[in-house]
Structure formats: structure tokens, C-alpha cells
Amino acid sequence: MSGATTIDFTAFIASIADPALAPFFVWAPWQLPPRIEALVEHAVAAASPEEYVVADGVAIHRGARVEAGAIFKAPALIGPDCFIGAGAYLRGGCWLGPGCSLGPGVELKSSLLVSAVRLAHFNFVGDSIIGHNVNLEAGSVVANYRNERNGGEIRIATASGVVATGVEKFGALIGDGCRIGANAVIAPGALLLPGTRVPRLGLVDQDPDA
């Protein structure tokens, strides 16, 4: 199966009917991260100054709360009722929908968080799409690169066959309501159905050769 394989996002994320999210769901999930910077730049440019404070390529909703020491590398859009903790680091194009929370020391790279996503603290999430009401406990990681192989194409074993994504960097598509335990690792190229529970210290690796 090729990297052009489509994914039924509605099987993972119920709220994709939101018009604000429509531009992000045109491609397969692993095809979004290389495009997300341009998409977030467009969203920032379109942000209403009545609702958002916009500066240096970053739009922060006036109802969001950002602690001192958080770092934003443009472009980034932070939606209403979000919380960004001290020492959080956002880079590579990040879009946070309503009610998301990034605790102290969280690093988020080239990712879309739909709504009410909670990254507790000291998490890394790279090149990923995360649905509604997802919680990552402290120290859990969504990896985006096969370091043990010096990179190479990310492949995903699915019920309908192996997907060859055509990319070297992709984290995960995490469905609504998932719970990821403390210090768990989601290996590059994961598709987690809604309600998935990953135990503390758990490993999810959907590579066909894992």
C-alpha cells in the first residue's frame, strides 16, 4: 500500500467537521506534517485581532494562558482556553484547538491538537495529529523518527495491509479519548483508535518488522 493511501479520519476523530480543521484533513495523516507550517501560517494570518494576540507569526487566543518561559517558534496558533506551561517549546508549525494544555517542559513539533488535549509535562510529541480529549501522562513520548535505523521510510502494519508512508518523519494519529500512561512510548508511525489505553512504561510499535 502506498503513501497516498487515505485514512477515514472520522474513525479516529469525530470533530473533523469543524470548518477550521478542514484544511488539515485533505491528506493522509503522515502527509500533513510536511505541510503544516504553511497551513498554520495561513491560519495565523486569518486570525481575528479581536480574538487573538498576533505577533511574530504566533497567534494566541485572548482566552489562553501562557506561563513565563514558554517558547514559540513561528508559526503557531493557540486556541481559546488553552494553557501553556513554563518551559514548553513549540516549533515546526503547531495548531492547538480549544482547551488544550501543555505542561512544563513539553516539546511539541509540527503537530495538530484538535481539542482538550492534555500533555502533562516533559512529553515529546512530533509530527502528529491528536484527537479530542486525549491525555498523555508525564514523560510519555510520541516519537517521529526511526533512529535505530538511521531513518528510512516509516511503514505501518494495519488490518488491511502494510502502509508505505513515503516519509521518514511521522509520529501518530491518535484518536479521540486515548490515554497514554507515564513514560510510555508511541513508536513512529502509529494509528491509535479512539479510546485506546496504553499502560505506563508501555510501548506501541506498529512497524511490520517490529
pLDDT in tens, 66-80: 999 999 999 999 999
Q: pTM value?
A: 0.95
Long-range contacts of 73-80 (CB under 8 A, 24+ apart): 74/41, 74/44, 75/37, 75/40, 75/41, 75/43, 75/44, 76/40, 76/44, 77/40, 77/43, 77/44, 77/47, 77/52, 79/115, 80/51
Q: List the beta bridge partners of residue 156.
A: 163
Q: Distance (Å, rounded) from C-alpha 111 to C-alpha 101?
A: 14
Say which CATH architecture domain 29-146+176-188 belongs to: 3 Solenoid (2.160)
Is the per-residue pLDDT at 172 higher than 70?
Answer: yes
What Rg, from alpha-carbon coordinates, does the chain have?
A: 16
Average pLDDT of the segment spanning 107-127: 98
Question: Would you state the pLDDT for residue 3?
Answer: 46
Mean per-residue pLDDT, 128-149: 97
Would you state the pLDDT for residue 5? 56
Does the pLDDT value for residue 6 go beyond 80? no
pLDDT for res 1: 46
Q: What's the chain's average pLDDT? A: 94
